[in-house]
A and B are shown apart, each in its own frame.
Chain A
Amino acid sequence: MKELDLWSMLFVFMLATFIGFEVIRNVSRLLHTPLMSLTNAISAIAVVGSIIIAGEQKTTFTTVLGTVAVFASMTNIISGFLITDRMLKMFKKKGPGK
């Protein structure tokens, strides 16, 4: 492993954490439940790592692990985005019929 990669990854991690703090601090408290389900779906980006393990088929065992991981991440992606949108649709400025 090249030293440079470790450091550049640490930089990315630090910068992303700061961006995360700044962006999320501005999220209205109204939307904290959708925030959690959305970040849930976003962190299911783990699917990209799982896909490679399931697809490269090096050993049966790792293929099984990769496939289960793809399944778990995909469940989070689908249900996370869908339920976030479902909840956000409900936030209306005025009630109906007014």
Chain B
Amino acid sequence: MNAEYHLTQLTYLVATALFIFSLKWLSHPKTARRGVFAGVLAMTAAIGGTLLHHEITTFKWIAIAIVAGTIVGVPLAMVPLTAVPQRTALSHSFGGLAAGLVGTAKYMLWLDEGPEALSKFRMTAIVIEVILGFLTFTGSLMACGKLQEWIPTRPITYKNQNLINLALLAVAIGVGVLIIFKPMLWGLFPLVILFSLAFGVLLIIPIGGADMPTVISLLNSYAGLSAVAMGFVLENKLLITAGALDGSSGFILSVIMCRAMNRSFSNVLFGAFGQVQSAAAATEQRSYKSATPQDAAQILESAGKVVVIPGYGMAVAQAQHRVRELYDQLTKRGVDVRFAIHPVAGRMPGHMNVLLAEAEIPYEKLTEMDDINPEMAQADVALVIGANDVVNPAARHDKSSPIFGMPIIDADKARTCLAIKRSMNPGFAGIENELYFADNTLMVFGDAKAVVGDLVKELSGQTGIH
């Protein structure tokens, strides 16, 4: 136990405390940026402490990797905010990859030292690290591909899918257990890696775009847990702590997302949402009312309270800046404008908030579902922009609906509901939305960005009338 060992441990201790502060400060927008600063400080301290390690014989490869990582990392931080879900999925996959590679390297190094180095404890930790790491790697890459629409976002299903997936996982774990007891059978190790990689791909293939918020949170959790396993392998308590923080964060977010959809984990992972009900959608033709942007502008102008309900459609159409202009026009006329955010609106937790914040809408106007619902009856207008399932009243009463039981924003309770939509086609999940056929609902057809732009034009052209 020399001085540098103690110094390294001290930096790790400080880093651990700073990481906890970092997350604590993130609890409120006012202190949140301080949280990032604490995180950077912690990371710098930890890396500095590690570089003191006496076993490091050359800094060449470390330096090259750090420079290369920085070169790739900076542009990844500059992506447009609509692409943040993809970036997040990609970084989960990098996290998983790092864990998988370190686990593999440690196994090889201990294998060279002989069987006494490969204790059951170490082997168990390595196997967990490698399975979690590599399945997170390919699973997150698949999620990233789906979000970027490089691969179809529709659930891809085939016969006995769940059986095949679970069998594959069972084989990976089975081989893993075998190698824990017979660590010198190194030929089994690539099999564990291979099965984990394959399982990661197959796990995500059947999951549709609407379930991405849950999946991305779950992968977040896996990436954290693979870092924990790495901590057990390397006997490093800093890794265990930081990984546990990440793991619990991902877990909490997954639970929130599942609750917001009234579904269980297993249902998200094995349910292939949006497959069965497309046949049932072909019911009788029902009538709906439509309005032009001019009509809609007049309704908005005479309203006292407007609640805007954004959904993924707003993000796809990049309409958030037009929405901001609409907010300005209405606020200028003394209209009380609020934004109702459903927890699963968008493609990752909190996605809508970030997009609206980018458009410089003050965050205190962004209201959570549970807080806005009691006020919906007092709203004159509910303006639905690119949201669909999260405002479908069928979730409240129609037991046969696939989304029955899902908490929704009560757009139908507002005096008038304006829904901006491209056409009457049912959305991604193929579920008819009762809201569009309600008596107090007016459909405004068109691209979200164009329609909101028209509304703004109408409103700004009529200044002074009020």
Please judge, given known A-B contacts A27-B23, A39-B224, A90-B360, whether A46 and B230 are in contact too, CB under 8 Å: yes
Instruction: Tell which of A24, A77, A91 touches B69, judged by Cβ atoms closer than 8 Å.
Output: A77
Interface size in chain A (residues, C-beta < 8 A): 84
Q: Which residue of B lies closest to A78 (CB)?
A: B73
Is B55 among interface residues, defined by CB-CB distance under 8 A? yes
Binds A, one of B159-167, B239-247, B425-433: B239-247
Residues of B within 8 Å of A47, CB to CB, are: 43, 46-47, 50, 98
Instruction: Tell which of A35, A46, A94 touches B95, judged by Cβ atoms closer than 8 Å.
Output: A46
Chain A interface SS verdict (over half): helix
Q: How far is the CA of A30 from the CA of B231 in the complex (A)?
A: 31
Q: How far is the CA of A30 from the CA of B79 in the complex (A)?
A: 20
Is B423 among interface residues, defined by CB-CB distance under 8 A? no
Residues of B within 8 Å of A53, CB to CB, are: 102, 105-106, 109
Residues of A within 8 Å of B121, CB to CB, are: 1, 6
Please judge, given known A-B contacts A43-B245, A91-B363, whether A52 and B55 are in contact too, CB under 8 Å: yes
The answer to whether A39 and B245 touch across the interface, beta carbons within 8 angstroms, is yes
Is B317 among interface residues, defined by CB-CB distance under 8 A? no
Most buried by B among A16, A42, A96: A42
The answer to whether A33 and B69 touch across the interface, beta carbons within 8 angstroms, is no
Is B24 among interface residues, defined by CB-CB distance under 8 A? yes
**Which residues of chain B from 363 to 394 have any CB-CB distance to chain A below 8 Å in the complex?**
363-364, 366, 368
Interface string of B41-85 (1 = CB under 8 A from A): 011001101110101111101101110111011101111010010
Q: Which residue of A lies closest to B351 (CB)?
A: A33
Residues of A within 8 Å of B76, CB to CB, are: 75, 78-79, 83
Chain B interface size, under 10 / 10 to 19 / 20 to 34 / 35 or more = 35 or more
Most buried by A among B53, B64, B101, B106: B101
Q: How far is the CA of A40 from the CA of B220 in the complex (A)?
A: 7
The answer to whether A81 and B360 touch across the interface, beta carbons within 8 angstroms, is no
Instruction: Tell which of A41, A74, A80 touches B66, judged by Cβ atoms closer than 8 Å.
Output: A74
Chain B interface SS verdict (over half): helix
Residues of A within 8 Å of B231, CB to CB, are: 9, 13, 49
Residues of B within 8 Å of A25, CB to CB, are: 252
Please judge, given known A-B contacts A32-B350, A69-B101, A78-B69, whether A23 and B92 are in contact too, CB under 8 Å: no
Q: How far is the CA of A73 from the CA of B223 in the complex (A)?
A: 12
The answer to whether B105 and A65 touch across the interface, beta carbons within 8 angstroms, is yes
Most buried by B among A49, A68, A85: A49
Residues of B within 8 Å of A8, CB to CB, are: 237
Is B449 among interface residues, defined by CB-CB distance under 8 A? no
The answer to whether B51 and A51 touch across the interface, beta carbons within 8 angstroms, is yes
12 example contacts (A-B, Cβ-Cβ < 8 A) are as follows A1-B121, A1-B122, A16-B244, A17-B248, A19-B245, A25-B252, A27-B23, A38-B23, A44-B94, A49-B233, A88-B29, A93-B362
Known: A16-B241, A24-B252, A55-B55. 10 other contacts (CB 8 A): A9-B232, A32-B256, A34-B26, A34-B354, A52-B55, A58-B112, A68-B65, A74-B68, A77-B73, A82-B77
Point out residues on A near B: beta carbons under 8 Å.
1, 5-6, 8-9, 12-13, 16-17, 19-21, 23-59, 61-63, 65-96
